């Protein structure tokens, strides 16, 4: 089992991709707090929030909202810039200036803070043809490996929408996404003082929800969407733990999301968080008792297993062996269970399945699969290249590069 599946949308290609378990750092030195004028940051974020709220209620005011935003423009190197640019792209879409919107969205595709949102915007602009839409949606599976965009799928044309057909009983669902479980995982990581994993887990949990479409007439705002009152506190938690982990630039971007698309109360909460960051600058975080960490890790492993995300559970066991009582026994237990689940994906005619972007035959070892975190630097860069290829080519029905052969075709 060596092959990660990827397609350049002209031909099917199989390439070997090494995913680093911990994502590469964001632009700039992650442990150096960026120089931020809090007043400038908050003024720009609030202006973006006000502009979006006005235009979302009446899209005829989108052009005026853009003018209002332009009075408080952040520079590219300033934290919060990328999410403000994303808001501008949404306003351009509502103002029917789609060329400007697409230019901004393409520029944001390889930015870890807003890559999935940028891709969803491009899907909205270019997703009229089902084939092109599916080709674009498949890139979300690459950026968001543990999510609804990835499903157990085969490689023989008998699968539709990422779900096997003509099976009784049906094959296992891989993964079984549960946003509530994913939020709880993030909470447990935070309680264990594992801040790097905590912010990444919050991001995964948010993106496990419904994507937020730009045009509310096309798709009204939904509960648990990426941008919704329910998700605003999760973005704030992601920001808090990203800050604790030294990812300060990402922390500002996530905090900006919580303000722009959250309830009014989130504005004051963001100001309090900025104040806290300033006060805690340079201070060491308190030590977490080993027993508390052990309990958290055991719970995290159990929750990943319940979602058929065994490769992530196995990686957690390996990473935190020193905290667990019997890590080898635990690993073998869940490795055996995972092999049995994957075996159920095969039948007399299924020769290959794709799990978490990896092609497997019956003879391959499924425990060698790794599930990267969402929005790794490698994933967003490769997705940008693939999306640019999709946008400059046409995908025809029946071509050999039909999206049915690529894992992770999305479901909203």
Task: Give per-residue pLDDT as tens, 202-227.
Answer: 999 999 877 766 655 555 556 668 88
Rg over CA atoms, the chain: 21
Structure tokens at 326: 């019997």
Report, as an integer, the average pLDDT of 156-162. Answer: 36
Residue 149 — very low, low, confident or very high, per pLDDT cuts 50/70/90? confident
**H or E element at residue 38:** helix 38-57
CA distance 337 to 283: 43
Percentage of the chain modeled with pLDDT above 70: 78
Phi then psi for 134, rounded to 5 degrees?
-65, -35
Helix (H) or strand (E) holding 354: strand 353-355
Average per-residue pLDDT in the chain? 81
Q: In which band, very low, low, confident or very high, does the pLDDT at 316 lie, cut at 50, 70 and 90?
A: very high
Q: How large is the average pLDDT for residues 330-338? A: 98
| The predicted structure's pLDDT at residue 180 | 93
Grade residue 14 by pLDDT with cuts at 50, 70 and 90: very low
pLDDT of residue 133: 81
Average pLDDT over residues 308-318: 97
**pTM for the model:** 0.84
Write the CB contacts of 6 (distance below 8 Å, at least 6 apart in sequence): 13, 14, 15, 17, 142, 357, 382, 386, 406
């Amino acid at each position: 089992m060596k092959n990660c599946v990827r397609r350049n949308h002209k031909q099917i290609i199989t390439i070997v991709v090494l995913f680093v378990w911990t994502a590469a750092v964001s632009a700039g030195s992650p442990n150096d707090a960026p120089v931020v004028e809090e007043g400038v940051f908050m003024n720009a974020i609030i202006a973006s929030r006000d502009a979006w709220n006005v235009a979302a209620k009446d899209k005829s005011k989108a052009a005026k909202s853009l003018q209002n935003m332009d009075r408080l423009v952040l520079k590219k190197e300033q934290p919060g810039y990328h999410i403000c640019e994303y808001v501008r792209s949404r306003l351009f879409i509502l103002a029917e200036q789609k060329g400007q919107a697409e230019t901004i969205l393409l520029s944001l595709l390889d930015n870890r803070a807003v890559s999935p949102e940028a891709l969803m915007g491009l899907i909205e602009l270019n997703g009229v043809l089902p084939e092109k839409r599916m080709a674009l949606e498949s890139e979300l599976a690459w950026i968001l490996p543990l999510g609804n965009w990835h499903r157990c799928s085969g490689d023989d044309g008998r699968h539709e929408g990422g779900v096997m057909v003509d099976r009784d009983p049906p094959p296992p669902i891989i993964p079984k996404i549960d946003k509530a479980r994913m939020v709880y995982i993030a909470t447990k990581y935070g309680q264990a003082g594992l801040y790097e994993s905590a912010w990444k887990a919050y991001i995964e949990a948010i993106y496990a929800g419904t994507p937020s479409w730009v045009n509310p007439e096309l798709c009204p705002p939904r509960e648990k969407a990426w941008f919704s009152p329910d998700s605003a506190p999760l973005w704030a938690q992601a920001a808090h733990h990203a800050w604790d982990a030294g990812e300060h630039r990402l922390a500002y971007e996530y905090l900006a999301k919580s303000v722009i698309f959250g309830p009014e109360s989130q504005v004051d909460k963001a100001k309090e968080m900025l104040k806290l960051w300033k006060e805690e600058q340079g201070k060491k975080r308190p030590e977490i008792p080993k027993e508390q960490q052990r309990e958290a890790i055991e719970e995290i492993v159990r929750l990943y297993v319940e979602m058929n995300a065994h490769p992530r559970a196995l990686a957690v066991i390996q990473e935190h062996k020193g905290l667990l009582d019997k890590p080898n026994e635990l690993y073998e237990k869940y490795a055996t269970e995972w092999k049995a689940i994957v075996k159920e994906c095969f039948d007399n005619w299924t020769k290959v399945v794709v799990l978490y972007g990896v092609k497997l035959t019956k003879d391959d070892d499924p425990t060698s699969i790794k599930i990267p975190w969402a929005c790794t630097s490698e994933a967003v860069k490769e997705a940008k290249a693939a999306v640019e290829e999709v946008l400059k080519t046409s995908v025809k029905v029946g071509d050999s590069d039909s999206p049915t052969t690529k894992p992770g075709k999305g479901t909203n």
